[in-house]
Amino acid sequence: MKLPEKTIERLSQYRRTLLNSITQGQTHIYSHELAALLNITAVQVRRDIMFLGYTSIQRKGYNIKELVEVIGHLLDHNEVINVAVVGIGHLGTAITAYFRGKRAKLDIVAAFDIDPGKIGNIIAGVTCFALSQMNEVIKNMNISIGIITVPPETASEVAEKLVASGIKGILNFTTVPLNVSTSVYLEEFDMVTSLEKVAYFVK
């Protein structure tokens, strides 16, 4: 079953919020409580969770651990999906350090850069390889997802190299919109546009 992109985004947010609730000792949660934590409606929460075929105990609400597992069955792959970060500047390094170990089924296993001073270094437990080694490393390490954090002028070239190496999904953190094969899932996150949007509404 292929769910809408927005539903997948919300399910990911639900899981993150629920995991935080577990650390606070909470065992059950009502739809209106989860909705309030995410600033959405309880109707939306119930509709999304209905997609999962999961129901709550009326007097207690959703069992948090069970709901986390159900969401995981839908979102996560059966096997670990390996990820590579291309561009180990400040942003690439921060992303590698932050996401490493955050999800059992997603693992950043390699990084790439053109700076000779970074090649061969270990960043947050991840080896940085030369960009010229991309095709070989991606195939040998069975990497499926590429995160692009390179300067805008090289983003399109890097995306082409990733696709040619067999990458199936790309998360683009540059300000350049990419054009890739329809067989590759592309998610673009433009921080400048997002910040300008916030600034507009703050005005």
Q: Bridge partners of 127?
A: 110, 122
Which token pair is 86?
């291309």
Where in the sequence of the chain do the CATH 3.40.50.720 domains occur?
Answer: 81-194
User: What is the pLDDT at residue 134?
Assistant: 96
Asked whether residue 51 carries a pLDDT value surpassing 90, the answer given is no
**Residue 95: how many other CB atoms lie within 10 Å:** 21
- The enclosing H or E element of 26 equals none
3-state helix, strand, coil in the chain (%, to 5): 45, 20, 35
CA distance 116 to 19: 40
pTM: 0.76
Where in the sequence of the chain do the CATH 1.10.10.10 domains occur?
Answer: 5-75
- What's the rounded mean pLDDT across residues 107-117? 95
**Residue 128: how many other CB atoms lie within 10 Å:** 21
- Which stretches does DSSP call E strand in the chain? 28-29, 62-63, 81-86, 106-113, 122-123, 126-130, 143-148, 169-172, 185-188
- What's the rounded mean pLDDT across residues 154-169? 95
Rounded mean pLDDT of the chain? 91
pLDDT confidence tier of residue 53, bands split at 50, 70 and 90: confident
- Measuring CA to CA, which residue among 39, 42, 32, 37 is closest to residue 18? 37
Which token pair is 42?
């309880």
Which of the residue ranges 30-34, 75-79, 161-165 would you say has the lowest mean pLDDT? Answer: 75-79
pLDDT above 70 covers a percentage of the chain that reads 100
The answer to whether domain 81-194 has CATH 3.40.50.720 is: yes
User: What is the pLDDT at residue 104?
Assistant: 75
Asked whether residue 103 carries a pLDDT value surpassing 80, the answer given is no
CA distance 76 to 79: 8
Inter-CA distances, 187 with 5, 60, 111, 146, 152, Å: 10, 37, 19, 11, 16
Asked whether residue 203 carries a pLDDT value surpassing 70, the answer given is yes
Encoded amino acid at 2, one letter: K
- The enclosing H or E element of 99 equals helix 90-99
Which token pair is 147?
């995160």
| CATH code at 5-75 | 1.10.10.10
